């Protein structure tokens, strides 16, 4: 743990000291070494937990921490072409801020104490806002930053109060120390309200439908690394928080927090429908994230072991898929300077290999069997069916709409007659192919041993 943190923090010195010519090469190489070191946590996952008084890695956090470390070098690779055109000091500040953001995320995943988790969870907000407002491309980025800050504040205060309440009830906030007997002593008069209050911060982060308005704005305005981190790891902080808090609050929450379940199931369906009428590629991908994350909310509300595993697997697979989709959208954006899908019609003829990446990533988004998204959705659907067949039917409808909008993306960007402006676009670089390979490969390999990432 300490080794990864040291390797990671050393990037701050690199950004200060290296000559500008080598800046991106050295930081990316360092980021790859962090990624390689983090793979050790797979071993913790199977046979033992790593824990001391500061850090705590168990089945839930190891997979998400590895995802964070894996995506870190990828964000650096993805932002190179745009950012390296800027003044030198701005490049350094950008790398430092993006490193800081992802380091905070990793610390939130691995820290043992819930109060420290809360602090790191909130600390990730500041660099996110800086990245969106300073490196965003459009003029409405200030508005996106304000939305993000306001929504996050909405959730933070109830969570803080809940943590203080838990501390006074149990005398500790270390999940390892909270034994089951201590948990039964606390008397709760309105369990559903308590669940909502404690998880409000996480529901905003995920985001739950109706609390999701900040997400499409933030994604549309953010530079590529911001979008990748938001979709890949920051949303997962919310899901992780709910999974961590759930043993503290109690069982059978789905009966008490019934309205939340209703909103989540409505959100799964409504956002999938909204995707069908987007013309902006980035906001479509953001909406599809909301749809997938609402499925995670239904799973964590059901609280069965299968649902928990499904939620975790879906979060991991969605981390890779949505990040890859944003990279693909960014390749389009860097060439045409537009996010409108119609502008890249017929690209298959011009960029055949890129079309293959699109196809693979879209297949992962639909959750067709040989991908881990399928494992996640299957586990969630099975536990949803045993809870209520009506809810199951609604989510089945969602699967159809997911397929429809994913194919719509594929058709709108790849098929059709070849327009003239495509012929003058510059071809794909090795950097972009590597980036997509590193997104697609882990998601395909992990299917050989899904136990590594499930609970």
Ligand X SMILES: *[C@@H]1O[C@H](CO)[C@@H](O)[C@H](O)[C@H]1NC(C)=O
Footprint on this chain of ligand X (rule: CB under 6 A): 93, 96-97, 100, 130, 134
Query: Min. distance of Cβ 96 from ligand X in angstroms?
Result: 3
Closer by beta carbon to ligand X, 5 or else 355: 5
The DSSP H or E segment spanning 337 is: none
Q: In whole angstroms, what is the distance from residue 438 CA to residue 444 CA?
A: 10
The residue with tokens 């676009």 is 425
Q: Where are the alpha helices (DSSP H) in 250-280?
A: 253-256, 258-275
Maximum distance among all Cα pairs of the chain, rounded to whole angstroms: 71
Closer by beta carbon to ligand X, 40 or else 93: 93
The alpha carbon dihedral of 126, 128, 134, 140 has a sign of negative
Is 339 within 8 Å of 273 (Cβ atoms)? no
Query: Min. distance of Cβ 74 from ligand X in angstroms?
Result: 20
Query: Min. distance of Cβ 97 from ligand X in angstroms?
Result: 4
Closer by beta carbon to ligand X, 103 or else 301: 103
Query: Min. distance of Cβ 333 from ligand X in angstroms?
Result: 23
Whether omega before 207 lies within 30 degrees of 0, making that bond cis, reads yes
Closer by beta carbon to ligand X, 133 or else 172: 133
- Which residue number places its CB atom closest to ligand X? 96
Closer by beta carbon to ligand X, 101 or else 438: 101
CA dist list (Å): 400 to 370, 372, 397, 406: 18, 18, 5, 10
CA dist list (Å): 106 to 61, 191, 408: 10, 30, 35
Closer by beta carbon to ligand X, 36 or else 93: 93
Give long-range contacts, CB 8 A cutoff, 24+ apart: 390-397.
391/261, 391/265, 391/298, 394/265, 394/268, 394/269, 395/265, 395/268, 395/269, 395/295, 395/298, 397/269
Cα angle value 32/38/41 (rounded, 5°): 160
Closest CA to 236 of 185, 143, 300: 300
Query: Min. distance of Cβ 100 from ligand X in angstroms?
Result: 4
The alpha carbon dihedral of 277, 283, 285, 289 has a sign of negative
Closest CA to 93 of 139, 34, 134, 144: 134
Query: Min. distance of Cβ 130 from ligand X in angstroms?
Result: 5
Closer by beta carbon to ligand X, 91 or else 348: 91
Query: Min. distance of Cβ 234 from ligand X in angstroms?
Result: 17
Query: Min. distance of Cβ 197 from ligand X in angstroms?
Result: 32
Could you give phi then psi for residue 62, rounded to 5 degrees?
-65, -45
Closest CA to 14 of 87, 91, 125: 91
Closer by beta carbon to ligand X, 37 or else 96: 96
> What is the three-class DSSP state of 190?
coil
Closer by beta carbon to ligand X, 100 or else 240: 100
The DSSP H or E segment spanning 392 is: helix 389-414
Closer by beta carbon to ligand X, 130 or else 215: 130
Closest CA to 453 of 93, 41, 165: 41
Closer by beta carbon to ligand X, 72 or else 240: 72
Q: In whole angstroms, what is the distance from residue 91 CA to residue 223 CA?
A: 13
Query: Min. distance of Cβ 92 from ligand X in angstroms?
Result: 8
End-to-end alpha carbon distance in the chain: 21
Burial degree of 321 (CB within 10 A; 0-12, 13-18, 19+)? buried
Query: Min. distance of Cβ 93 from ligand X in angstroms?
Result: 5
Query: Min. distance of Cβ 133 from ligand X in angstroms?
Result: 8
């Amino acid at each position: 743990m300490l080794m990864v943190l040291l390797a990671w923090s050393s990037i701050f010195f690199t950004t200060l000291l290296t000559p500008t010519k080598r800046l991106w090469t050295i930081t990316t190489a360092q980021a790859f070494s962090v990624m390689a070191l983090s793979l050790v946590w797979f071993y913790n996952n199977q046979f033992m937990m790593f824990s001391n008084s500061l850090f705590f890695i168990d089945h839930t956090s190891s997979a998400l921490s590895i995802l964070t470390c894996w995506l870190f070098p990828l964000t650096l690779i993805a932002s190179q072409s745009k950012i390296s055109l800027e003044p030198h000091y701005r490049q350094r500040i950008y790398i430092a801020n993006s490193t800081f953001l992802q380091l905070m995320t990793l610390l939130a995943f691995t820290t043992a104490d819930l109060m420290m988790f809360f602090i790191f969870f909130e600390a990730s907000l500041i660099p996110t806002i800086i990245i969106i407002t300073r490196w965003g491309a459009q003029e409405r980025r200030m508005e996106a930053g304000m939305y993000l800050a306001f929504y996050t504040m909405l959730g933070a205060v109830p969570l803080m109060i809940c943590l203080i309440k838990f501390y006074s009830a149990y005398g500790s906030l270390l999940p390892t120390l909270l034994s089951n007997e201590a948990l039964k002593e606390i008397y709760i008069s309105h369990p559903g309200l308590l669940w909502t209050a404690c998880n409000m911060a996480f529901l905003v982060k995920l985001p739950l439908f109706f609390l999701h308005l900040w997400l499409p704005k933030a994604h549309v305005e953010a530079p590529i690394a911001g979008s990748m981190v938001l979709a890949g790891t920051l949303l997962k902080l919310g899901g992780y928080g709910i999974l961590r808090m759930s043993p503290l609050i109690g069982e059978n929450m789905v009966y008490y927090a019934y309205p939340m379940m209703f909103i989540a199931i409505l959100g799964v369906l409504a956002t999938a429908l909204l995707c069908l009428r987007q013309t902006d590629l980035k906001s479509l991908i953001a909406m599809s994230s909301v749809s997938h994350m609402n499925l995670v909310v239904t799973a964590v509300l059901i609280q069965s072991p299968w649902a928990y595993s499904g939620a975790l697997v879906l979060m991991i697979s969605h981390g890779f898929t949505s990040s890859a989709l944003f990279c693909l959208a960014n390749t389009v954006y860097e060439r045409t300077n537009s996010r409108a899908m119609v502008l890249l019609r017929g690209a298959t003829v011009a960029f055949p290999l890129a079309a293959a990446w699109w196809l693979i990533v879209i297949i992962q988004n639909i959750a067709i069997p040989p991908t881990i998204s399928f494992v996640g959705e299957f586990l969630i659907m099975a536990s949803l069916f045993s809870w209520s067949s009506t809810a199951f039917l609604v989510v089945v409808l969602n699967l159809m709409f997911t397929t429809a909008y994913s194919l719509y993306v594929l058709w709108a960007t790849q098929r059709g007659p070849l327009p003239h402006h495509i012929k003058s676009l510059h071809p794909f670089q090795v950097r972009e192919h590597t980036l997509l390979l590193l997104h697609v490969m882990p998601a395909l390999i992990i299917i050989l041993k899904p136990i590594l990432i499930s609970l």
